[in-house]
Structure 1
């Protein structure tokens, strides 16, 4: 009300002073007066002394009537006045990527000829007025990346010419209106992702035969079954239903066929192909058998025609079963006797001292070769199997062990998982060498398997493991050297050094994107679809151009095999394969780690990581979200609130609930980049989705990476 009265006073004053400007000019001046910040002077030539507004910046007229208002990306700070509704011939409004706040005035929808309303990338809030149904000519509605809430008005189905509806990254709730699919038959783009829409997916969405690209319903709260009618959509349309509460079998028809599991993940209740969990006979709507129908794989036949083969169909006879059991018992006994004999046998091996002083060796020429195991060696390798040379994991490795040991070395860091050295070879090649410790377990084959799997990873945002060395007394990992330290130091500075050069927003965004791309590679394109398990700023290294390199992948696991004692149980190489679950059993017995200033590393761990045995890629998503919040706020993952401590995730959530301005949470070093507020807010929304308390509600890294890339594209 205050804004409306202020506008009336300003209009009255302007009208009293000058009478030349027409009514549409006065309506636009109300918009200029509602803008309190115009840093680029976009409205500087909006003058009341003109006869009409047709020559003003951002204004297009036809026959002296305003038909378009287009002022995108000009950092305008203010609200939308109700007087804009008096622009009766207005066809297009484009105010994207500004800093507009407040709600949509109902009067705006009095411009009945409006065809395009583009307001994405602002901080507008409130609900969409039901009078939107009066806009019979509306074709493009883009309200994405705002704070709109409430349900989608049912009257929107009356806007039958709509081609684009983009409401992603808002707080919309409620059901989709009845007749949504039947009424909007001209719709070409539909994006409702990252909202809180609920209820069932309307079956009439299958009527939207003009849709193109991706129909994005992901990251909402839709429930119930997937209507088979969605298969009626054009086959080239990609239907994204990830991270909802959908259940039942996935229909296998039309546009729903031949889709990978990535279109349906995040819905624990869904079953059937392409997901791995089959539908049970009790699953509502499950009519298909649980086994796949492949050539040569048919359901059992119960027909009477097969009565002649009934003996075969019943399986093996009792005699055959007894014979097999007896044979197995005899075989097991023989193997046991043989093993007992070999284990207790005393081998006579000539004690030959080699030049290194090792006692047991293979016999020389003409001697019988013999290898003895003592009881305490039953789970270790013999010294005859020991590795005493540098093993290259890259064909480009052009140095040997002697060169490495003779090179100049400088300590880079020290932790519970060994010391890291900067090593400069004679040719000028610089490497990072980590010592995993001396002595310890002798599980060389296991170590070899793990380290060679890591060595196969190749991505520009993951530190490359070039070689390794194993011996009884020494275990070394040789990586590329990354010159600009780690992300923690880049955000907060190095301990004991008061001054440092803070990162600009553009550099931070580049780092965020690089980390995301590295995690996408680990999660989806690496040989075993790995989980990092211990992602934090300390193990994100920055290259020559500040590009990020994820490090320490699998380090805890290697240290454990080599006999070290990693400081964090989560710092290990894990995969999503069931074969790796044996490495995670200890996690189930761990008590919950309290996030505090003395255990900062635990603040990046997903809440469920301390009680779930099988690792999840959603652990990494949570850690990534905390890192984003740390880069936006410049704060450590523990925030001091009065005399108590609070973790960063909860502190940010409280700030959002209290509707505090962005400047209250923004890193002070980013104040000069405040013009990028729309980008920062968009990244903040992504971060909050990543740190959702429910793993199923967190996005996957590929979607996060795509969202960051789209953000950059929309800012152009």
Structure 2
């Protein structure tokens, strides 16, 4: 079957005019035809009948052109096809943590727009094509944990690319604090600068991040956005499919035995002075350190009775199944990014939101609980914290404020989540605060579509993800005024509650407080708020917006009375559909409310705004620094 599919794709490449799928889609289908293993069905929605590939899982587009392919951690098995080199607009190719074999195609040298190439943790072999060294836009090259052979390509010595090759590059002397030791030039996938001392790692990482490019969000121009028929759910952060537990899985072999043997044979024998130094100084010191560590471990083990059920009960149980796909960050890194946590955006009863800036200029939002010690942090709080990370990390949508990482430290106590930062405030502020920029009808409709697509995606997940408190203050706007839904119910339990060491009913704690039908209802209220500019509860008469709007919704002739007086250039047919959808969403009988998929389809038919046009424009490299920041914690 796979051979027949590959043959069909080959025919399509020759007779492209006979099908509606564009050339980028055909190239991706050729890649798919060479994927023999797909345990998560990551490529199941790659359909030959689609007009373009922008809605396919892992594919991200801008203006209908494929700019990112992210299939990280999908455990795909097969070979990399040369046709991937035909994706002329590709800026990021992320295929790490899979089981691809064979060599890197020479055709990858034709990806002139490529900025990020991440092929780590596969079983690739052979040599690295020299054409990769000539790529003009390449900023980040990640190739560790493969089986490459041969010496470093000459272009690695002539360019700074070897400084950006992650665990696999050699370090230049200036990054090693003046060390004079030479690192073997022979290429080995086992080589890793992570094994250097902490100070060296910190210096290397900081220098790398200062040099790395990071594209800011690009505002949408006034030109009309090209309508594509396909959604694009990924955000470039983490895979939407939950990662399977990797405990017990063996890592890919770090190098062939014969390669290591040859390397060892080429190394000169140490001088007698060095041998003497080793036996007189290094060995005794190492032995003393080992004994001290052993004593501390034994002492810590004996003190286990004083730790209480917190360590061995719920926390230990959750630790086994905790999310591994989200970077765990150090407090020091976040402290530096947030200027000692002095840059406060907003304060809630149970948490504080800080604004941070990474060294590359990328802005982040850091949400921290107000609990200051483990005494104030109950078992239930810890369960909710970890469960929230699990849930939010699965959403992974361009119109959601996606999770970038988390911080979990006990001394000093810290529970934080790191999110994308949307710089243009909330939808509530733009609708009701005069100091914020006014949104015209087209901008509001784009916001509506972004919210609808995101909610549809959340409700389509297995298990379903429901937003707990959907309202305009939870909708943030990006630089180009695209909507991003935020979950502000992160730390919902009151702070200062005494620690509970007894078991509680975990099943009850996992019961949802909201349902898809309640999200649909809230979306209907949002529609009324967006088109009317009226607050959910009017400040003048205290009347809920639905009670005020219901009479106008019953009569088509009076629906124009719902419109915000400041809005102009409103199309009657669009207004009618919005009102019809809003009326259906707030139906008293929740079983008769439409699904978010039905809502999105109805609105798209009249607005003509596809998912990619409702999404913000983001660089595929915005998350690269977070991955490096998490190295120390891993």
Same fold (TM over 0.5): no
Q: Whose RCO is larger (CA < 8 A, sep 6+)? A: 2
More strand per residue = 1
TM-score by length of 2: 0.42
TM-score by length of 1: 0.38
More helix per residue = 2
